[in-house]
Structure 1
Amino acid sequence: MLYALTKDSKMITAKAATKEQKYYCPSCHEPVILRQGHYYTAHFAHLKRTCGTFSEGETSEHLRGKKLLATFFRAFGARVKLEAYLPGSKQRPDLLVQLPDQQLLALEYQCAPLSLRKLQKRSRGYHDVGLAELWILGNNYRLKRSLPQQVAQFMRWSKNRGFYLIYLDPIKAYFEVVYGIQKADFLPLKYQYWRTNDVKKLKAFFATPQKIRLKYLSLSERKKQKYALAKQIYYSTGAMRKLQQLTYQKRLKLTAVIDDCLALNYSYPLYRTATLWWRTALYCDQFSRPKIPAYELVFVDLKPFIEQDIDNFCKGLAFLKKNF
C-alpha cells in the first residue's frame, strides 16, 4: 500500500510517513507497518494477511508501476487517486482515474498471478458500479512462444490492432502494446509490439486505422510444422493417438486427412489446443460441431470468431469433397 491512516484517521503517503508513528489500513483498519529503504519503494504492509481488499503481497515492481501510471495519466490531464476504495463494489483498484472527458476508469496493474475466476469477479464488480476498466500487465505475464490461459484471459480486441495486451515496464518507464497476436499449430506465436510513455499517443495508436492480416506460413515454417507432426505421429500419444484411432475406424488415410485439415496460415488466438484436432474430428464426421477447447476471455466474446472460423472451414471442406 502507498497510503495508510494515522491514529487520527488522516490519510498519509508512505513517502511522507515516519517510523515513530502508528498507521492503519484504510480498508480493514488493522495496524500496518511502514517499510522504507534505499532499495525498494516506500510502502505500508499488513502485519497479518487478513485484509480482503489488500490480499496480494506487493512487489517492488507493482509499487513502482502504480506510481509511474499515476504520473503518466496526470500528464495526460487526468485526475488520479491511488488505491481509492469503492464502497459499491468493496474493491480498491490500483488507480481510480477521471479522464479529461470525465469518464471514470478503474486501472489495474497486474503483476501477481490471478485466476480466471478472480479476474471475472473483479471485472464484474467494476461493471456493476458503472466503471470502465483497464488491466495493464507486469513482467510475469510476458508473452513467449506460447499463449497460456493465464495470459490469454487478459486479451482484448481492436479492429485496428487485432487481439492485444498492454504491458508496463516500470524500470524503462514505458507502455508496451503487444498486438496482432496470431497462432499456428505447432509453431511459436506471432505478434507485433509498439512502445510509448505517453497516454495520449497510446490512445491515438488504437484509433489509427491499420489492417491486421493473418500471415501465411513460409516454407520454413511449414517444414517445422511437418517435423513437429511427424514426431507426434511417431510417439502416438494424446490427441494424435485419438486421431490415429479415428481415421483407422473411418478407413481414412491419416496423412491425407492431416493435409486437408492443417491450416496454411496463422489464425486468431482462439483455441487452447491445435486447430488440427477439432478440424480432423469435423472432417471425419465424428460430430457436426465438435467441442472446441477455446480460451476463456473476460473482455472479448470469442463465440462470433469461432463460429466464423468453423463456417469457413466447413465451406472449404465442402469444396474439397465436391471437387476432389
Structure 2
Amino acid sequence: MVKQPGEYFVVMLVAVNQAKERVVAAYHKSAHEIRSKYPPGSLQCPFCGQGVFPRERKGFVLHFVHQHSCTSNIARHPESPEHEEGKLKLAKFLKEQIKDDPEQNATVEVEYHLPNCGENGRIADVALVYKNGNLLIAECQLSQITPDELEQRTRDYHSIGADVLWFLGKEADTSENRAWLRSVFGAVGRIDFKYDPA
C-alpha cells in the first residue's frame, strides 16, 4: 500500500498475547523490546485473531500492524498520528483521575473492544473499566464529524450502559459540535496539542 499525502495507515496500539492479555505498544520503549519479550507469532489482533507485529514508523507512536489484512467487521479507518497520540493522552488523563483510588476499582484501557455496541461493535478510544462492570468511555475526535454522528455514537455507548466523554480537536472542534455537547452533557471536552515525533 502506497501512502498518499494526507492518508494514514490503519495501525493498532493494542495486541493480545497467547494468554489473551492486552499488550499496549506505546507502553514499551521500542519495537525491539516488544520483539524480545514476545516470540514471533505470539501477538494477535484483538479483533480478528490474526498475527500482528510491532512497528516503529517516523511520525507515529509505537504500534502494531497486521501481517495480513484484518478480517474483523468492526468499522475501522486509518487514524492520524495526532489521534493515536490523543488516545494515549486521554489514557494518561484518566489514570491521573483514579490514581488516588485506594482500592483500584478501575483500570484504563486503550482501544477497548465493545462487541455489543452498535451494529458490528465498537472500539472505544479509551475506556475506564470498573471492576463492577461499569464503563466510562473517552473519545478523542479530531476528524470532521456532525452532531448527528456524535449523537448516534453516544446512543450506541448508552445502549450498553456506558457513559461517554467527548474530547474534540482539529476539524471536529466546530461551533455546532460544541453546542451539541453543551446541550447534552453541559460541557465540552477539548484536546489541543501538536504531535511532535521524536
Do both share a fold (TM > 0.5)?
yes
CA-CA distance at 1:86 after TM superposition? 2.1
Determine the C-alpha separation between the residues in 2 that align with 1:49 and 1:137.
Answer: 28
Alignment match of 1:85 (pick from 113, 138, 154): 113
Alignment match of 1:45 (pick from 56, 59, 65): 65
3-state SS of paired residue (1:94): strand
Q: CA RMSD in A?
A: 3.3
Alignment match of 1:11 (pick from 15, 22, 30): 22
Question: Equivalent residue for 1:69?
Answer: 90
Determine the C-alpha separation between the residues in 2 that align with 1:71 and 1:50.
Answer: 30
CA-CA distance at 1:136 after TM superposition? 0.8
Letter in 1 for 2:40: Q
3-state SS of paired residue (1:136): strand
Q: 1:85, 1:91 within 8 Å by CA — same for their partners in 2?
A: yes
Which has the larger share of helix?
A: 1
Determine the C-alpha separation between the residues in 1 that align with 2:73 and 2:165.
Answer: 21
Note closer, same or farther for the CA distance 1:121–1:142 as it changes in structure 2 (3 Å cut): closer
TM-score (norm 1): 0.42
3-state SS of paired residue (1:92): strand
3-state SS of paired residue (1:44): strand
Determine the C-alpha separation between the residues in 1 that align with 2:127 and 2:194.
Answer: 22
Structure-to-structure mapping, 1:19-30, within 5 angstroms: 21-22=40-41, 23-30=43-50
Determine the C-alpha separation between the residues in 2 that align with 1:52 and 1:43.
Answer: 21
Determine the C-alpha separation between the residues in 1 that align with 2:146 and 2:184.
Answer: 24
Determine the C-alpha separation between the residues in 1 that align with 2:129 and 2:148.
Answer: 27
3-state SS of paired residue (2:94): helix
Q: 2:48, 2:70 within 8 Å by CA — same for their partners in 1?
A: no
Letter in 1 for 2:164: E
Letter in 2 for 1:61: E
Alignment match of 2:157 (pick from 126, 130, 150): 126
TM-score (norm 2): 0.64
Structure-to-structure mapping, 1:1-324, within 5 angstroms: 1-6=12-17, 9-15=20-26, 16=28, 17-18=34-35, 21-22=40-41, 23-46=43-66, 47-48=68-69, 50-53=71-74, 55-77=76-98, 79-89=107-117, 90-98=121-129, 104-114=135-145, 118-143=149-174, 147=175, 151=177, 154-157=180-183, 165-171=188-194
Determine the C-alpha separation between the residues in 1 that align with 2:123 and 2:82.
Answer: 18
Q: 2:167, 2:190 within 8 Å by CA — same for their partners in 1?
A: yes
Task: Give the fraction of aligned pairs with identical amino acids, expressed as a percent.
Answer: 26
CA-CA distance at 1:69 after TM superposition? 1.0
Q: 1:84, 1:96 within 8 Å by CA — same for their partners in 2?
A: yes
CA-CA distance at 1:38 after TM superposition? 4.8
Q: 1:64, 1:170 within 8 Å by CA — same for their partners in 2?
A: no
Q: 2:134, 2:161 within 8 Å by CA — same for their partners in 1?
A: no
Instruction: Decide which structure has the larger Cα Rg and report it.
Output: 1
Question: Equivalent residue for 2:102?
Answer: none
Determine the C-alpha separation between the residues in 1 that align with 2:84 and 2:108.
Answer: 15
Q: 1:49, 1:55 within 8 Å by CA — same for their partners in 2?
A: no
Letter in 2 for 1:63: E
Note closer, same or farther for the CA distance 1:5–1:158 as it changes in structure 2 (3 Å cut): closer
